[in-house]
Amino acid sequence: MRSLRSFFFCLALLLAAVSCAPLFAADRVIILYDAFSDSAKLTKDWGFSALVEHDGKRILFDTGNNAEIFEHNVKALNIDLSKLDFVVISHRHTDHTTGLKYLLRVNPNALIYVPANGSNGFGGAALPAAFLRPEASLPAEMRYFDGNIPTIFKLGDSTILAIFALSTRRPRYRQECF
3-state DSSP assignment of residue 164: helix
Q: What is the pLDDT tens value at each position of the chain, 178 positions in all?
A: 555 565 555 445 555 554 554 555 689 999 999 998 888 999 999 999 999 999 999 999 999 999 999 999 999 999 999 999 988 888 778 888 889 999 999 998 888 887 655 444 444 455 555 556 667 788 887 777 777 777 666 666 544 443 443 333 444 554 444 4
All domains of the chain, ordered by start, with CATH? 18-126+157-176 (3.60.15.10)
Closest CA to 91 of 55, 115, 123, 107: 115
Q: What is the pLDDT of residues 36-77, one digit of tens each?
A: 888 899 999 999 999 999 999 999 999 999 999 999 999 999
Say what the pTM is.
0.63
Task: For residues 46 and 154, give the distance between their C-alpha atoms in angstroms, rounded to a whole number.
Answer: 8
Please name every residue paired with 61 in a beta bridge, in sequence order, or none if there are none: 50, 88
Task: For residues 82 and 154, give the distance between their C-alpha atoms in angstroms, rounded to a whole number.
Answer: 28
Longest dimension (CA), the chain: 79
What strand order describes the sheet that includes 57-61?
Answer: 28-33, 49-54, 57-61, 86-88, 111-115, 172-176
Instruction: Judge contact between 156 and 94, C-beta under 8 A.
Output: yes
Task: For residues 28 and 11, give the distance between their C-alpha atoms in angstroms, rounded to a whole number.
Answer: 31
Task: For residues 66 and 129, give the distance between their C-alpha atoms in angstroms, rounded to a whole number.
Answer: 18
Helices (H) and strands (E) in the chain, counts: 5, 8
Mean pLDDT, all residues of the chain:
73
pLDDT over 90, % of the chain: 33
